[in-house]
Amino acid sequence: MLGATGGAVISLSQGNECPGQLKRANGRFREQGELALDDPVSKYVTELQGGGDITKVTLGQLASHTSGLPRTPQEPGHRGSYKLPDFLRYLTGWKADKGHEPGKQDIYSNAAFALLQLALQRRFDKPTAQLMNERLLQPLGMSSTTLPVPAANSRGQLAPAFKRRAVQGYGPLGRPVGTPGDLQGVYDWPGTGQLYSSARDMAVFLTANLGELPGQRALQEAMAGQDAVFVAFGPRPAEYLDALRCQIRF
């Protein structure tokens, strides 16, 4: 995360879909002629059309962590990060099982979001960063949120002004991970990697999701119509989850 003078790297987490809002959002997208949440991802990432189980996966399942895809590709023989051709090869050969069936389980999946980003880039013929800026960051004035731009080696790179404000990230055991602003991850092509933001921008995003941001009615309605999610980190009392369900939206 980036603050006025610094902050810590953030991570976005999973959620479960609320079917009623999902149907309304799906209808709205169809009316606008842009896409539909029940579109197969292979419609846009055409390299997957010759695959097996991946052809059953939809955009809505990718967005709601119900695609069945694991968190990261599970290939014992693969070493290092995944370039785009490696990732597409993995997806084409991916086989669902009883614990990983499209539309059946809630499984936090970075692989699903990497694929969703790719599908959106293909659908709108724009880089992920440009789509985010045009449709979310600029309308909300989130000037301290950035997706690092690709460097010569295709790995994203923070602009100097943002890198000066980045602070050290830490792992589960409290040990430093990389250096401030250092991009790490399994996927290595433009549009993948960490998203950097500030506490102020995250507050704006939350306010917009709650419908309390003046002057952004159209954007708020679009966000409210999206797949409603709740975030759970470990066991929670049932009444706590009921209170959160369908209240926090992305």
Q: Walk me through the domains of the chain, giving residue ranges and CATH numbers.
A: 19-249 (3.40.710.10)
| Residue 203 vs residue 162, higher pLDDT | 203
Render pLDDT for 35-89 as a digit per residue (tens, 0 to 9).
888 899 999 999 999 889 999 999 989 988 899 999 999 888 888 888 999 999 9
First to last CA, the chain: 18
Mean pLDDT of the chain: 74
pTM: 0.74
Alpha helix positions (H), 33-127: 59-63, 84-93, 110-124
- pLDDT tens-digit series, residues 123-148: 999 988 888 888 888 988 998 888 77
Contacts of 218 (CB under 8 A, 6+ apart): none
- Of the candidates 27, 29, 110, which has an alpha carbon nearest to the alpha carbon of residue 69? 110
The pLDDT tens digits for 90-124 are 999 999 988 888 988 888 899 999 999 999 999 99
In three-state secondary structure terms, 170 is strand
Q: What is the pLDDT of residue 3?
A: 46
